[in-house]
Amino acid sequence: MKRPRHISQVMAALLKELDIEQSMNNWRVVEKWIEIVGKKIAGHARPISVDRTCLYVEVDDPIWQSQLFLMKHDILAKCQKYRVYLTDIKFRINDHKEA
């Protein structure tokens, strides 16, 4: 008869088997966004989604989109501090600005 396993062991094995652990780790970037880019940039750009390899960021306008595109490599390097698996960032303009 097998001995019961602790839920943390079961969950770790399940996450590994479903291969979603990588995506879960990538959410750290969303949580730490202000620390990664600073308050000024975070005021104009916010992460909206993340998947296995890509972070999706919504920006205020085309100028911020262009600026952040040029900074993409540096932002990805800072993200690696959190041991994520991101290889790309996609920036999109927020079309639904609040009045």
CA 52 from chain centre, in angstroms, equals 9
Give residue 20's domain range: 7-93
- 93 against 7, higher pLDDT: 93
- Look up residue 41 and give its two tokens: 């940039």
Number of domains in the chain: 1
Token pair of 10, please? 């079961």
- Judge whether 59 lies within some domain: yes
Residue 49 domain flag: yes
Residue 99 pLDDT greater than 60, yes or no:
no
Cα torsion at 71, 47, 20, 75 (round to 10°)?
20
pTM, 2 dp: 0.76
In a domain, 60, yes or no: yes
Higher pLDDT, 74 or 99: 74
Q: Which amino acid is at 82?
A: Y
Who contacts 37 (Cβ-Cβ below 8 Å, separation ≥6)? 45, 75, 78
Q: What is the CATH number of the domain that holds 28?
A: 3.30.300
